[in-house]
Amino acid sequence: MTRQSKSPRPEGARRGGPQVHFFLLGVSATPIGGYKVVYEYANTLVSHGFHVTLWHSRAFYADLPGARRISARIKAAARALQARIRFGRRPISWFEIDPRVRVRVSAGYPNPRLRPGDAVVASAVETTPRVAKAAARAGARSVALIQHYETWAASESFIQRSWGMVDERIVIAPWLGDLCKLNGLGSHLIPNAIDPLAFPRGKFLREREPSVLSLISPHVYKRADVVIAALEGIHRAAPEITLRAFGQETRPEGLPEYVSYYHAPSPALLATLYGEAVVYLCGSDAEGWHLPPAEATMAGAAVVSTDIGGVRVSMEDDALYARPADSVALAQRVLDTMADLESAQERADRARARIGARTYETNARDLARALRIGDGKNEI
């Protein structure tokens, strides 16, 4: 077990005050959107006097149906040791976590000291059953922070059963709330927020070099094949447009040489790429609440995307859409955007104002209410 730093007691927090524990999968050396959302909440909550602990463990994989439990536990222990050796006392290097947030990396299951009134939050479906069990033993609140319908990780029956184990469900997009409702479960809607300071607005679109930026990911639902095909279509129609892509993996096979690729860009470089793009292109089949289009919008880019709930939740009607898997239509929407920058600027400005109005301060207040924590001395 490692800890990121020695955590002084938060200013204004009392010993014995409300505690929030987030259960996460293993530490990642590269940015993960779902982790980033949790870390933002942790920083905001601890700044308002709540005791917050992040529990990272790969042992959760052993709970999935069909998992070889002994093998999974051995692998989890090995990964935890690797994390300790590689990262030492700073296991999370790509996000600045408030030093008052306690970080625990464990080979086994988290074992927080809980009391009635505390809250335990699941951040992935694999963590949800353990959150429910840990909270029930202590009379604490159990909550699932539902950021996607994680069918790549577990069966639909496992997901639905896990959602029903906890006291509360928080969804980041309306379409996820609809799935809860279909299973007879209530939920609280708290869409994600974006830190505007992290993504400064670049030049007006008419002042930017004609360019397109897109994420390429190995996750099947993010449809790297559709993104690449759309980029190829754009290049055939308008070879003067600069094409860029980024991702956490090395350069994907099949990506044309005329597309510049940025492997695991730093937050500063990614913000620069967003701020230089005229269009951010999303080709996914599904997303929970897709961060990159919203981040690109905050940096002033226009958005072209497949018509999915995880983009509609932030962009509403202020993007140009195509049907999922339709690379030809996506390429045409990009060309349409380039041909009418005045309309694109209006859409980008509306979306930027709307997205920027939601902050993690307001979200953390809504989260604390949904968790039913706080005693009048720890208010947001």
Domain annotation covers residue 378: no
In this structure, are 223 and 99 located in the same domain? no
Domain annotation covers residue 379: no
The contacts found for 87-94 with CB under 8 angstroms, 24 or more apart, are: 87/2, 87/27, 87/29, 88/2, 89/2, 89/3, 89/4, 89/5, 90/4, 90/5, 91/2, 91/4, 91/27, 91/56, 92/4, 92/27, 92/39, 93/29, 94/28, 94/29, 94/30, 94/31, 94/267
Contact 315, 294 (CB under 8 A): yes
In this structure, are 242 and 317 located in the same domain? yes
Domain annotation covers residue 49: yes
- Residues 90 and 279: their CA atoms lie apart, in Å, by 36
- Residues 146 and 149: their CA atoms lie apart, in Å, by 8
Query: In which domain, by residue range, is 203 found?
Result: 196-356
In this structure, are 117 and 173 located in the same domain? yes
In this structure, are 170 and 43 located in the same domain? yes
- The 10 Å CB-count burial string (b at 16+, else e) for 241-275 is bbbbbbbbeeebeebeeebebbeebeeeebbbbbb
- Residues 343 and 48: their CA atoms lie apart, in Å, by 41
Sequence-separated (6 or more) residues with CB below 8 Å from residue 311: 282, 284, 287, 290, 293, 303, 305, 319, 321
Domain annotation covers residue 48: yes
**pLDDT of the residue at 378:** 53
In this structure, are 154 and 93 located in the same domain? yes
Q: Is 68 helix (H, G, I), strand (E, B) or coil?
A: coil
Domain annotation covers residue 336: yes
Domain annotation covers residue 376: no
The dihedrals phi and psi of 69, each to the nearest 5 degrees, come to -60, -45
**pLDDT of the residue at 379:** 58
Q: Where residue 84 sits, what CATH number does that domain have?
A: 3.40.50
**pLDDT of the residue at 17:** 72
Sequence-separated (6 or more) residues with CB below 8 Å from residue 141: 117, 118, 119, 120, 135, 167, 168, 371, 372, 373
**pLDDT of the residue at 87:** 44
**Strand ranges for 33-115 from DSSP E:** 51-57, 102-106
pLDDT digit string, tens, across residues 327-341: 999 999 999 999 999
**pLDDT of the residue at 16:** 55
In this structure, are 227 and 166 located in the same domain? no
Q: Is 142 helix (H, G, I), strand (E, B) or coil?
A: strand
In this structure, are 211 and 295 located in the same domain? yes
pLDDT digit string, tens, across residues 48-58: 899 999 999 98
In this structure, are 364 and 262 located in the same domain? no
In this structure, are 186 and 214 located in the same domain? no
Domain annotation covers residue 69: yes
Q: Where residue 312 sits, what CATH number does that domain have?
A: 3.40.50.2000
Q: Of 262, 282, 281, 283, which is closest to residue 273 (Cα–Cα)?
A: 262
**pLDDT of the residue at 9:** 43
Domain annotation covers residue 377: no
Query: What sign does the dihedral 182-188-189-193 (CA atoms) show?
Result: negative
Count of domains for the chain? 2
**pLDDT of the residue at 12:** 36
pLDDT digit string, tens, across residues 87-133: 445 578 889 999 999 999 988 899 999 999 999 999 999 999 999 99
In this structure, are 294 and 245 located in the same domain? yes
In this structure, are 161 and 294 located in the same domain? no
**pLDDT of the residue at 107:** 81
Ranges of the chain with pLDDT below 50? 1-15, 68-74, 76-78, 80-81, 83-88, 376
In this structure, are 262 and 346 located in the same domain? yes
